[in-house]
Structure 1
Amino acid sequence: MKDGLTPQLGDIVQVSLKTYPSEESPEDMTAVVIKVIGNKNDPGVDIMAIVADHDVKTEWSDEALEQANQIPDHVTAADKAGRDDITQQAAVTIDGDDSKDFDDAVVLWKLDNGNYHLGVHIADVAHYVTEGSPLDIEAFTRGNSTYLVDRVIPMLPFRLSNGICSLNEGVERLVLSCDMEITPTGERVNYSIHPSVMKSHGRLTYSKVNRALAGDNLDELEEKYRTLRPMLVEMAKLHDILYQKRHKRGAIDFEEPEAKIIVDKMGKPIDIVLHERGTAEKMVESFMLLANETVAEEYFRRHVPFLYRVHETPDEEKMKTFFEFVSAFGLNVKADPHDVKPSDLQQIVTKTAGTTEEAVVQMMMLRSLRQAHYSAEPLGHFGLAAQYYTHFTSPIRRYSDLIVHRMIHEYGVGKPATELQKHFQGKLDEIAEQTSVQERRSIDTERSVNDLKMTEYMANQVGEHFDAIISSVTSFGMFIQLPNTVEGLIHISNLTDDFYRFDEKSLTLTGRGKHHQFKVGMPIKVKLINADVAQHQIDFEIYDPNTPKIKNNDHNQTKTPYRQRTSQNNRPYRKRNRQR
């Protein structure tokens, strides 16, 4: 302890082990305190303990902060050199109500030939975060921003992420533009990728754009929404065209509500709110997807090293199991699990849309897919049915996008192609690995924090009854999900009306005596019997006051760790979650 920090009573600390137990001294272990996270009763310390446990970096090097402080807080005349001036275009940002950093803006108008001009303008972070600089080293180490219930752990210092790199309303900002010409049938017939200077004509929010599109109570909205409404209406039309085109080629479109945990000033959860995506969210998704595909295709066709976002074809055995699973719901699946196509899965999603089986089928499908990741090889994106795909649209919060921007700049400055190719080719594998690993780290951290806060939220509801759906069945019990997305376990020992056996092939638990069966997707009534905040564990039992109790002694009754939830990075584009 003498070489480390000296914590106070009640402090949560991070330690480095120095000596380990041995056969001679099984209880002998020493450690040095390397960081005091804070007192266990202080607001937010519980979250920061999880952050430390996942090794998410929160502090900046002095060199990185010094570099950030030296960057001007406004666009200079020198910055504008060689850039197109698009400050007169009515480009707008569209984000959530509580967003603070804005890295993408969009603009749309109709051309004389009847086609659409769509401009997607992305914050030019690479202009400020140069290769090998202290800020670049920090961004590479972090890989991406981590979004928690009450805070953001950013990839870049606040001065950049919320300042000079953020496309704030009414101020000039540097961007990389992807301008596209699109026909009324959704064909992209022309495009240009180039550096620009823009000025946001409106910081718009999803909720208000949806109200403007609906045309309800327009007088209650700010003037900018009424002024921009004609463009927003055309954007919604183009989104529908692009969506139909993606659907036709087989892209899998998952629709599910997103849960947001609301906490008070002390960090205590007070509500879990479900948010259904509206047209505004979906049209921004469509535009970002198209820009990502366009950029990826351009640099693939140039035959230069590039960083791709890839999603490989699913494992054959997992697909076979999934097809057997959906067949139990009466779906006639004719797809070949050895040669599955995105359209095969899309048809299943379409057939179950609006049914009671929709959520569970999508959940099982997501579990059957591979995880999306980064690669220097253009392996395609199965979920989007896209041959070329990259991440171009979020350089404030993802290092992958920052690297893509850096390569776009470098490939356009006239350096010898062989020199550039050799330079980037030697770096991309490491960057792909680091960004993929850090993405997984952030997802796991975000999930652990959500589990903690959901458990806290349920802790004062022990004894209450809830409607639920069975989300997974295992040999030790079954996981259930409440309408607010809270998940918990019904352990096999708490199934007290019979002795149950697990069938791995059908994923069912069947009573030996009464032959009652529990299967994935089944609605049930449950009672909350435990919410262990320390272990992030929630336990339920079947609620039936008339059921006699039978103890399942032939099963292991020890607590079983919760399974990993479905990976978010196979889900559709979400501006504050993982993109595909």
Structure 2
Amino acid sequence: MDETDILKERKERILAYMESEGYVPIKRRDMRAMLSVPQEDREKFENLINELIAEGRVFETKKGKLASPKDLQMATGTFIGHARGFGFVTPDAGGEDIFIPASETMGAMQKDRVLYKMLHKAEKGKKADGVIVRILERGQQRIVGTFEAGSKGYGFVVADDKKIAKDIFISRENTKGAVTGHKVVVEITDYGEDRRNPEGKVIEILGHINDPGVDILSVIRRYELAVEFPEEVYAEIEHLGTEVAEADKKGREDLRDLLTITIDGADAKDLDDAVSLKRLGNGNFELGVHIADVSHYVRENTALDKEAYARGTSVYLVDRVIPMLPHKLSNGICSLNPHVDRLALSCLMEVNGRGEVVSHRILESVINSDYRMTYTAVREILEDGTPALLEQYAEILPMLEDMEELRQILGEKRRKRGSVNFDLPESKIILDENGKPIDIKPYEKSIATNMIEEFMLVCNETIAENSFWQEMPFMYRSHQEPDEDKLEKMEQFLRGFGYYLRKKDGEIHPRELQKVLQKAEETDEERIITRMVLRSMMQARYTAENGGHFGLAAKYYCHFTSPIRRYPDLEIHRMIKKMLHGELDEKASVYYRRKMPDWAKHCSKQERVAEDAERDTDALKKVEFMEDKVGQIYEGIISGVTNWGIYVELPNTIEGMVALSQMDDDYYEFDEKKMLVFGKRTKKSYRLGDKVVVSVAKVDRMMGTIDFAFAEENEDFQE
């Protein structure tokens, strides 16, 4: 037994003792004696104990005894801060967050891994609360924020992340010449304590807060998004051609004569899915979903593959795309551009009149897309019958009409089984050449966007089910049903609007949520109901085991259709191709099954990072857009109520807050049960979903806030 094995065995024995029934806190020397640790190994033993303490798996009491955190009702988790100083801990073991008062954070900062002790369990709508016992690992070493100079040469940095409650002190020698208003990156040198601010040094000045592009660059630095690719990646693709080599086409099924089109947004450059459709002799459809064979060019364990895995996903910021793959692949040889040969992984599905996939084939193919269609053009052809477009695309008109028929069949099948459609408007932010927002409006959704959505959904389900029954190593897209606490809060909220959920054996079927959303359609509260139901849902994630997809009411689901921009799709392509080529023997299967859970966890994490960065850049531009709108009047809908303010959302998706402290016509209180704010004297109330008229009172770009004030309803508001 080598030294590593000896240490591992001792670690396991320490933890086994800590978890045993007869366990009592024990001194270090008694633990050494119990494990018969020789004198020459004493230092290694001490390091082992300190390692377990740092991991939060062993706790040292004030009297120096080793104790089990579990025995002392302690556990580990991640700290989530709040601008007001308090915070929450998300337990490693899962479950509801634990509230931590500002006085009990022990100086913990956003994303720190902590050991905490629960004081009170959750009951009657009140969150569980606790205290931080120890900070195990700091979550952030670098902070992005705005520099504010002091009078004697020192300064403070106000973090962009409002969950970091304390400003970071910068001594005179560590300012790097920053002046008030500079966006900077700070490296923390001292995390401070409860009553002392953290300290740091400026390591990069990004520019002034008002300089074009600095706001987005700040988000990129804050989330540590990799913009440039390493030199070794460019070296690997240096000799990659712009056309598919003849040798690469061999052994593939030739589908170049199959009428095939892509349908995307007008500004899309990475076209990773193409579709085809034809009627069969038995009246069924043959739907072809052809996906760019990215795995042919991104080989396992290359520098290109490692970089793609590290990124996990492309990031779509408001003014740019940070791609998972270099443009030579994403916009070039992998993109299914029209009139050029491309390698694909195709799924050909026979679909009957009830939307059931009665048979399918998955194959490596060569395709040649005939038309590069846009959502707008397809909508105008099918809905408006625009003469010029009907003439231009006469060759594919019959196929488009069949596609529209199949879209309705597939949508009806999903509706019947209870699939939930969340139709919340997304923002389309239009910028000028300097990155300044000049218009914000909801994204257009149409039968064309829904058509591609339906085709991709049925393909993803077919691939997932096929892989499940093949028992191959795989990465599923899983979505759990809401947990009990969230479900209870949602039910209480819905009852306030007169909506009721029917449960069976304490469980809810997604069909019940679908009924609520359908009932709310075209009502004033539709957007609020949809958002509340969505917030009550668990987050979908990647898993190595099939967990089904609650929201889609699907037994099997995965992401197969976007390998240019998502690493899970790329990994799925590899597994399928290995299966097709007979390369998934027992040894390979064992290897990939062992690796897949970690890969799934990493990809889920990177997806969250991308979503947060995208949301933050949208929020920045929304605030900037409203800067010159102070005093203007708008009609909106109440989207949130709290004990500090009323949130109002405008038709263009911009949200601001009316602070209760600024409502001087009465003293207003928040009723959490009824989810409304009411005046004590006038009994005037504001509840979720109410239509209101507001004026823009204040916009603070540094704080990222938009303040509204209620206006008189007869005042003219902006359309």
Same topology, TM > 0.5: yes
**Which residues in structure 2 correspond to 1:346-385 (within 5 Å)?**
346-385=514-553
311, 314, 317: which one aligns with 2:485: 317
Q: Amino acid of the residue matched to residue 31 of structure 1? A: K
> Cα 1:216–1:513, aligned 2, differ >3 Å: closer, same or farther?
same
The 5 A counterparts of 1:356-505 are: 356-415=524-583, 417-505=585-673
Partners in 2 of 1:118 and 1:98 — Cα distance? 26
Query: Within 5 Å, which residues of 2 pair with 1:26-45?
Result: 29-31=199-201, 33=203, 35=204, 37-38=206-207, 40-45=209-214
1:495 maps to amino acid: M
Provide the secondary structure at the position in 2 that maps to 1:360. Answer: helix
1:286-325 equivalence runs, <5 A: 286-325=454-493
Contact 1:218 1:226 in 2 (8 A): no
Measured against aligned partners, the alpha-carbon deviations of 1:172-224 in whole angstroms (never above 9, x if no partner) come to 1111001000111211101011110111111100000111112532225672x
Cα distance 1:27–1:230, how it changes in 2: closer, same or farther (>3 A)? closer
Q: Kindly name which structure, 1 or 2, has the bigger radius of gyration based on alpha carbons.
A: 2
Partner of 2:676: 508
Kindly provide the CA deviation profile for residues 145-177 of structure 1, in whole angstroms up to 9, marking residues without a partner as x.
111111101111111110001001111111100
Matched, 1:109 2:278: yes
Q: How does 1:258-273 map to 2 (within 5 A)?
A: 258-273=426-441
How many residue pairs get matched?
544
- Tell me the SS of whatever aligns to 2:249: coil
- Whether 1:17 and 2:193 are equivalent positions in the alignment is no
Q: Secondary structure at the match of 2:463?
A: helix
Could you tell me how far apart the structure 1 residues matched to 2:677 and 2:665 are? 13
Offset at 1:29? 3.7
Residue in structure 2 matched with residue 239 of structure 1 by the alignment: 407
The alpha-carbon distance between structure 1 residues 32 and 325, as it changes in their structure 2 partners (threshold 3 A), is: closer
SS in structure 2 at match of 1:70: coil
Task: Specify which of 518, 526, 532 is matched with residue 694 of structure 2.
Answer: 526
The aligned amino acid for 1:536 is G
Once residues 435 and 411 of structure 1 are traced to their aligned partners in structure 2, the CA distance between those partners, rounded to angstroms, is 22
For the 8 Å contact 1:320–1:337, the answer to whether it is kept is no
- The letter for the 2-side match of 1:440 is R
Local SS of the residue matching 1:377: coil
Q: CA deviation at 1:504?
A: 1.6
Contact 1:212 1:226 (8 Å CA) reproduced: no
Please tell me the residue identity of whatever aligns with 1:123: A
- Residue 19 of structure 1 deviates from its aligned partner by 4.8
Shift of 1:275: 2.9
Structure 1 position 98 matched with structure 2 position 258: no
For residues 479 and 337 of structure 1, the distance between their equivalents in structure 2, rounded to whole angstroms, comes to 36
1:145 alignment partner in structure 2: 314
**Which SS does the other structure have where 2:451 is aligned?**
helix
Residue 429 (structure 1) shift: 1.1
Greater shift after overlay, 328-337 or 278-287? 328-337
Q: CA deviation at 1:78?
A: 1.7
**Deviation of 1:474 (Å):** 1.0
Q: Normalization by structure 2: what TM-score? A: 0.72
Which of 104, 117, 123 aligns to 2:292? It is 123
Contact 1:410 1:420 in 2 (8 A): no
Q: Where in structure 2 are the equivalents of 1:135-284 lying within 5 Å?
A: 135-220=304-389, 223=392, 225-284=393-452
Partner in structure 2 of residue 51 of structure 1 = 220
User: 1:4 Cα shift?
Assistant: 11
Comparing 228-237 with 61-70, which one deviates more in the overlay? 61-70
Q: CA deviation at 1:74?
A: 1.3
What per-residue deviation string (whole Å, max 9, x for no partner) do you get for residues 502-528 of structure 1?
122221112111111111111111111
Q: CA RMSD in A?
A: 2.4
1:64 equivalent to 2:243? Answer no
Structure 1 pair 75–341 and aligned structure 2 pair: CA distance change class (3 A): same
Q: Report the CA distance between 1:61 and its aligned residue.
A: 0.8
Deviations 1:352-406 (A, max 9, x none): 1122221111011001111111101101000000000000000011111111111
Structure 2 match to 1:574: none
Residues 342, 495 of structure 1: alpha-carbon distance in 2 compared, 3 angstrom cutoff: same
Shift of 1:68: 2.2
- Distance, in Å, in 2 between the alignment partners of 1:270 and 1:354 is 29
- 2:501 maps to a residue whose letter is V
C-alpha offsets along residues 320-373 of structure 1, whole Å, 9 cap, x if unaligned? 221222222222433359301010101111111122221111011001111111
Q: Show CA shifts across 1:101-142 (max 9, x none).
A: 100000000011111000000011111111111111111111
Q: Which amino acid aligns with 1:111?
A: L
Give the direction of change, closer, same or farther, for the CA distance of 1:28–1:137 in structure 2 (3 Å limit): closer
Cα distance change of structure 1 residues 498 and 181 upon mapping to structure 2, 3 Å threshold: same
- Distance in 2, matches of 1:380 and 1:77, equals 40
Change (3 A) 1:416 1:199: closer
Contact 1:19–1:31, Cα closer than 8 Å, also in 2:
no
1:53 Cα deviation after fit: 0.7
463-472 or 287-296: which moved more?
463-472
Structure 2 unaligned residues grouped into runs of 5+: 1-170, 715-719
- Corresponding letter in the other structure for 2:647: F
Alignment check: 8 A CA contact 1:470 1:519 kept: yes
Quick one: which of 525, 541, 548 aligns to 2:709? 541
Structure 2 CA distance, aligned partners of 1:331 and 1:507? 15
User: Compared with structure 1, are the counterparts of its residues 5 and 98 closer, same or farther at alpha carbon in structure 2 (3 Å cutoff)?
Assistant: farther
Distance 2:209 2:670 in 1: 41
CA distance in 2, matches of 1:417, 1:535: 56
Deviation at 1:256, TM superposition (A): 3.3
How far apart, in 2, do the equivalents of 1:8 and 1:468 lie? 41
Task: Give 1:461's aligned amino acid.
Answer: K
Residue in 1 aligned with 2:82? none
State the distance in 1 between where 2:645 and 2:668 align.
9
Distance 1:200 1:499 in 2: 65
* Compared CA separation, residues 416 and 316, structure 1 to 2 (3 A): closer
Gaps of 5+ in 1: 547-580
CA distance in 2: counterparts of 1:336 and 1:231, whole angstroms: 43
Q: Tell me if structure 2 keeps the 8 A contact 1:121–1:178.
A: yes
Residue 562 of structure 1 corresponds to none
Q: Give the whole-Å Cα distance in 1 for the aligned partners of 2:485 and 2:191.
A: 42
Instruction: State the alpha-carbon separation in 2 of the partners of residues 27 and 58 from structure 1.
Output: 32
Query: How far is the alpha carbon of 1:545 from its aligned partner?
Result: 8.8
The alignment partner of 1:256 has SS state of coil
| Change in 2 beyond 3 A, CA 1:175/1:460 | same
Q: 1:319·1:337 contact (CA, 8 Å) conserved in 2?
A: no
**Structure 1 residue 417: Cα displacement:** 2.5
Q: Deviation of residue 21 (structure 1)?
A: 5.3
Percent of pairs with identical residues:
43
2:247 counterpart SS class: coil
Instruction: Return the match for 2:685 from 517, 524, 544.
Output: 517
Amino acid at match of 2:663: L
- What's the CA shift for 1:38? 4.8
When residues 38 and 66 of structure 1 are mapped into structure 2, their CA distance, relative to the original with a 3 A threshold, is farther
